[in-house]
Amino acid sequence: MIDQKGKISLTDSGLAAAILVQDTYIANPKTTKRVFDIFDQVGRFEMTADEALHSLNVTVAHDLPIMAENVKQLENAIEKPTSYEPKEKVSGEWHGEEVTFNASFSSHRFTAEEVAQLLAGEVITFQATSKKGKSYTAKGQLAKKRYKGKDFIGFDLILDKKKTRKIKK
């Protein structure tokens, strides 16, 4: 959900989920309660797991064709994301291993000389422009980094000790 000036609206993901389950059993709170009751009955050995699974399969069998029809509404309800353009990459040997990394950082495209320096493990400095449009002097080197649980090699900005940056996890 998104809260804008007191008005709450669904995110695209929330809207997609709401459209997909429209008119299905699983979207009905009574069905959800019934599913939990079935789990409780299995836990109390009043119903077998096979009986519970059969009941759930009936619900899914009913809902799948409805959800398949609901998918057709998504295209009209949700704006398609803009296509992603992959970033230009450069490759070379760094610390004895073949690596590939983005050919640019911020607004700056690395020159062939800068790429060679980075691959040699050197720190480079260049003029860049922030996302807010402000010019700054960037200083950094290649480093092993992690973003959203994925490891990669990339330019690592070395910040002035007076300034700190927030690290996104």
**5 falls within a domain:** no
- Are residues 23 and 53 located together in one domain of the fold? yes
Q: Is residue 84 situated within a structural domain?
A: no
Of 35, 54, 77, the residue at which a domain comes to its end is 77
Query: What is the C-alpha to C-alpha distance for residues 125 and 128, in angstroms, rounded to an integer?
Result: 9
Regarding whether 70 and 29 lie in a shared domain, the answer is yes
- The torsion region of residue 8 among left (phi > 0), alpha (psi -120 to 50) and beta comes to beta
**Helix (H/G/I), strand (E/B), else coil: 159:** coil
Q: 65: domain range?
A: 10-77
* Residue 2 belongs to some domain of the structure: no
Q: How far apart are the first and last CA of the chain?
A: 21
How many CB atoms within 10 Å of residue 24?
A: 18
Task: Decide if 135 is inside a domain.
Answer: yes
In a domain, 73, yes or no: yes
Residues 68 and 101 in one domain: no
Domain count, the chain: 2
Inside any domain, residue 152:
yes
Query: pTM above the 0.75 mark?
Result: no
pLDDT tens across the length of the chain (169 residues): 566 677 777 788 888 889 999 999 989 999 989 999 999 999 999 999 999 999 899 999 999 999 999 988 887 888 777 777 888 999 999 999 999 999 999 889 999 999 999 999 999 999 988 888 888 889 999 999 998 889 999 999 988 765 545 555 4
Give pLDDT, residue 106.
86
**Integer Cα distance of 65 and 75 in angstroms:** 18
What distance in Å separates the CA atoms of residue 150 and residue 21, rounded to the nearest whole number? 32
Q: Is residue 167 part of a domain?
A: no
pLDDT at 41: 95
pLDDT of residue 169: 47
- Answer whether residue 18 is part of any domain: yes
Of 21, 44, 77, the position where a domain reaches its end is: 77
Question: What pLDDT is recorded for position 37?
Answer: 94
Whether residues 55 and 106 fall in one domain: no
